[in-house]
Amino acid sequence: MKRPSVHHLLLFTLCVYHMFTGNIHINNVMAFDLNTITFDQGYTPLFSDFNIDRSQDDTRVRLLLNRQSGCGIISTDYYNYGFFSAKIKLPMEKTPGIVVAFYTSNVDMFPKTHDELDVEFLGNARGWTFQTNVYGNGSTTRGREERYRLWFDPSKEFHRYSILWTRNKIIFYVDEIPIREVMRDAGMGGDYPSKPMSSYATVWDASTWATGGGRHKVNYCFEPFTSELQDLVLQGCPVDPIDATSTNCLDAIDELEASEFATITPRQRQAKKWFREKYMYYSYCYDRRRYPSPLPECLLVSSEEELFKTNGRLKNPQQFQQYWHSPGESQRQPEMTAAY
Ligand SMILES: *[C@@H]1O[C@H](CO)[C@@H](O)[C@H](O)[C@H]1NC(C)=O
């Protein structure tokens, strides 16, 4: 029932143009068509309200970390499967020890058997890295971390970060690039998240945890550290977390699973391969010391596997690319054009 709009025609024209010039800016050309909401339409403060700064029109929210506190927001509803997404700009400069997390969880409802999907940005001396993780039914002893660098400086501009969670797969996106896909495998059992979750964004001082076990402490001479969120998207079936069956979610789930972001196109698959081979620097799937046999959902990719040692870390970290914080200078960011 989608009519070709001016927007789509323009996209098409751009795509054709870019096909011929080989000049692919995925952010502009493949942007998802999303319904964004205001803060109030989907979220509420979680803690340290005084550090949450909302724009007048309520479409943007700034999360501050200062020596008093970090802060956090939470969606007002729990969702029985969903698409959770925001454009985020991270604090600039002097960010070691800071963690900015965008995630889904139900730990407040199910403290012993919670589910969780994480995107966590870790500030370190060279800039930001990030990790994704998956927990189901309290599987905290089986971490499923992957860690990555980025091809841009996430403190310089907004990028969209998204978590898709359906009955049979989980996809993490950076912009429109599906950086990680977890297909539900029967062997996962309860480790696959299956209870309603809410969406969170938090910023906190992880001095003792994030960066080399506390080697780099947050330096409050540079406070406040500001993360900005905008173009929020919450899609899925809002439910009562305890009695999820009280709501008929089938239509909403069908709609979710039919959305463009629930299917990875061949071109996105290329981009995924490009990203993972260039920017992923740890994966639990290749960590044989931790998991002598890979966890059931791991689909080993030989071109990735070649890059990793048996401890899941890179054989050759030097050849690895990352943007660097370069205050004052223009950024030496690898051109994304036709890179994949
Ligand atoms: C989740 O964990 C609880 C408690 O350990 C267990 O009773 C239940 O069967 C598990 N659920 C699934 C789906 O594995």
Question: pLDDT per residue over 40-56, tens digit each?
Answer: 999 999 999 999 999 99
**Cα-based torsion angle of the residue sequence 300, 301, 302, 305 in order, rounded to the nearest 10 degrees:** -70
**Given 120, 146, 176, 228, the catalytic residue:** 120
Higher pLDDT, 15 or 137: 137
322 pLDDT higher than 80: no
- Distance (angstroms) between ligand 1 centre and the Cα of 139 equals 10
Is 120 in the active site?
yes
Residue type, 326: S
Mean pLDDT of 200-211: 83
> What DSSP designation does 51 have?
G
Question: Ligand 1 centre from 80 Cα, in Å?
Answer: 18
Residues of the chain with CATH 2.60.120.200: 33-319
146-to-77, 101, 137 alpha-carbon distances in Å: 28, 15, 20
Q: In this structure, how many other beta carbons lie within 10 angstroms of the beta carbon of residue 259?
A: 16
Considering only CA atoms, which residue is closest to atom 9 of ligand 1? Answer: 190
The lowest-confidence range among 91-100, 211-220, 317-326 is 317-326
| Per-residue model confidence (pLDDT) at position 321 | 61
CATH code assigned to 33-319? 2.60.120.200
Q: Would residue 277 show up in a list of annotated catalytic residues for this protein?
A: no
Residue 241: count of CB within 10 angstroms of its CB: 17
Nearest residue by C-alpha to atom 13 in ligand 1? 190
Rounded distance from Cα 188 to ligand 1 centre (Å): 12
Please compute the mean of the pLDDT values over residues 270-278 and round it to a whole number.
95
What's the gap in Å between 57 CA and the centre of ligand 1? 43
**Residue type present at position 58:** D
Question: Considering the chain, what percentage of its residues have pLDDT values greater than 90?
Answer: 70
pLDDT, one tens digit per residue, over 52-75 is: 999 999 999 999 999 999 999 999
Ligand 1 atom closest to Cα of 189?
Answer: 14
The pTM of the full predicted model, rounded to 2 decimals, is 0.87
Are the C-beta atoms of 39 and 231 separated by less than 8 Å?
A: no
Q: What is the pLDDT of residue 70?
A: 96
Pocket of ligand 1 (CB under 6 A): 113, 137, 189-190
Q: Residue 259 is which amino acid?
A: S
Nearest atom (ligand 1) to Cα of 190? 14
Asked whether 176 and 27 are in contact (CB, 8 A), the reply is yes
Confidence of residue 213 (pLDDT cuts 50, 70, 90): low
